[in-house]
Amino acid sequence: MTAKARGRRGSAARLGLMALPVAFFALFFAWPVAAIVTRGLRTDGSWQLGRIADVVTRPDIRHVLWFTTWQALASTALTLLLALPAAYVFARLDFPGRHVLRAVVTVPFVLPTVVAGSAFLALVGRGGLLDELWGVRLDTTVWAILLAHVFFNYAVVVRTVGGLWAQLDPRQEEAARMLGASPLTAWRRVTLPALGPAVAAAALMVFLFTFTSFGVVQILGGPTFSTIEVEIYRQTSETFDLGTAAVLTLVQFAAVGAILAVHAWTVRRRETALRLVDASVTARRPRGAGQWALLAAVLATVALLLVLPLGVLVRRSLDAPGLGYYRALTDADGGTFLVAPVHAVWTSLQYAVAATAIAVVIGGLAAAALARRDAGRLVRGFDALLMLPLGVSAVTVGFGFLIALDEPPLNLRQSWFLVPLAQALVGAPFVVRTMLPVLRAVDVRLREAAAVLGASPWRVWREVDLPLVRRALLVAAGFAFAVSLGEFGATVFIARPDNPTLPVAVARLLSRPGDLNYGQAMALSTILMVVCAVALLVLERLRTDRTGEF
């Protein structure tokens, strides 16, 4: 086969790989979002673009925009302050239980936001641990929101920065020390510049997650605080003001696009830095009082900030004698749902399995196309678009599903399959991010040799790529499963009353008065936490690298 023929065959294979992911994101992401924006800004056949200025200049909306921005900045700064010492500890210090503790640190990140909100509600809310001991309540205050955001994003900094820190050659800093530099000066002049891109990438991801926060603010903030995401939900579900919701969606879309663009730039800088460092693991036993004190401080932070809220959550679920709250989950007479709350466990598992299958297929095909050396600029641009579902309002996507997918040929409004489709939108980017580095590491000469011998693109993938990326594929599926299980923003609109998911069930129980509803919410949150934690522990055994980085 000539080089020209192989080139044509490669282009056709690339287009074939991209066809399904492009169609999926066009139908189930771009179309629903466009439907909401069009419904909100188009009246009597004409566009009402002046509404954008009218909305963003309203005092209440300006307050929402300001609160969304400053709480995201405060959450990011607080997360960096508390998590950077832990990144050093996991990267440089070797101590018993280090790998188990790293898994514990990562548990909050894969938990649904409603579980994080429930855990802090049990800790700082009415009747919570602080209320019982000292009469202190922090729910409906900004401090509860900030602490919950740190709880949720602590692992982003630890694993992103710590993954790079573990690969930096410590001899460079030791050489600076031998030349007379103080420990602080050596760290500031040698280590910090190398860590800069990773710190910036982690900070941007934390800012993105907190800027678009929904479940945490909805549960802990009450009516007092509202982010853009929460306000979109209120405008669509409570006041049905689609014009305001559409404008806020556009504002959030623009902000997320800018954040992702800067994040892509920092990732490229980080990749350049990684080529300059030693990739060997450099952790050593703690030496001196300073390192032991730092290790003790990090362990205390993890215990108080991460473990304690989850422990209080479990304790509150056991408050009723004889596992009363868990037994009440089997009773459908409470009036909150059309079925017993425990039915949400089985429903969520079914939905998550279906969503994982979709995400693995879509994300795997996209990653295979992006990993090809001959990928053009248009294909590489699609890589950035794949991240948008993580930042664009899930509430908008969910409500857009109800509007856009209610007519033939895609009349899915009454279909159970609508929920897995929405969950797969969030899971697919995790599949791409997990599989893409591994696929790019596959020696292209192996594929070329198979193609020269006459193997079809499908057989090349089956015989060459799949054996090398099988473990990464399992890790990607695990992440997609955990993320799908906890998706809340879109599912809250499209989950049917007779088939609620676990996050939706928790939120609805928390919104109703009564100790029984509150206890059942704690019990369901505990079940959801256990399922996600088990999935994470399996991922820790399967992950392909040993640096601890995401």
DSSP 192-207: HHHHHHHHHHHHHHHH
Question: Which of 250, 252, 241, 251 is CA-nearest to residue 43?
Answer: 241
3-class secondary structure, 413: coil
3-class secondary structure, 33: helix
- Asked if the model's pLDDT at residue 458 lies above 60, the reply is yes
pLDDT band at 278 (very low <50, low <70, confident <90, very high): very low
The secondary structure of residue 93, as a DSSP letter, is B
Mean pLDDT of the chain: 79
- Asked if the model's pLDDT at residue 487 lies above 50, the reply is yes
Q: Sketch the domain layout of the chain as residue ranges.
A: 66-312
Q: What residues have CB less than 8 Å from 290, skipping those under 6 apart?
A: none
- Asked if the model's pLDDT at residue 34 lies above 70, the reply is yes
pLDDT band at 381 (very low <50, low <70, confident <90, very high): low
| Alpha carbon separation from 133 to 69, 118, 299, 424 (Å, rounded) | 34, 19, 23, 43
pLDDT band at 544 (very low <50, low <70, confident <90, very high): very low
Ramachandran area for residue 45 (φ above 0: left; ψ -120 to 50: alpha; else beta): left
CB 480 within 8 A of CB 359: yes
pLDDT value of position 386: 75
Length of the chain (residues): 550
Query: pLDDT exceeding 70 applies to what percent of the chain?
Result: 82
- As a whole number of angstroms, the distance between CA 186 and CA 380 comes to 38
Domain 66-312: assigned CATH number: 1.10.3720.10
Least confident range from 28-32, 54-58, 383-387, 482-486: namely 383-387
pLDDT value of position 2: 52
What's phi and psi for 415, nearest 5 deg? -90, 140
Q: What residues have CB less than 8 Å from 47, skipping those under 6 apart?
A: 41
- As a whole number of angstroms, the distance between CA 131 and CA 394 comes to 33
Question: Which of 184, 175, 194, 108 is CA-nearest to residue 147?
Answer: 108
Q: Cα 366 to chain center, whole Å? A: 19
Element holding 509 (H helix, E strand): helix 502-510
Of 535 and 292, which is predicted with more confidence? 292
pLDDT in tens, 392-436: 777 778 878 888 887 777 777 778 888 899 889 888 888 887 777
- As a whole number of angstroms, the distance between CA 438 and CA 440 comes to 5
Of 508 and 303, which is predicted with more confidence? 303
Q: Which spans in 93-240 are helix H?
A: 98-110, 113-124, 129-134, 142-165, 170-178, 183-186, 192-211, 215-220, 228-237
CB 327 within 8 A of CB 479: no
- As a whole number of angstroms, the distance between CA 320 and CA 520 comes to 10
Average pLDDT (470-484) is 81
Question: Which of 123, 420, 160, 172 is CA-nearest to residue 278?
Answer: 172
Kindly tell me the sign of the dihedral angle through the C-alpha atoms of 160, 369, 394, 35: positive
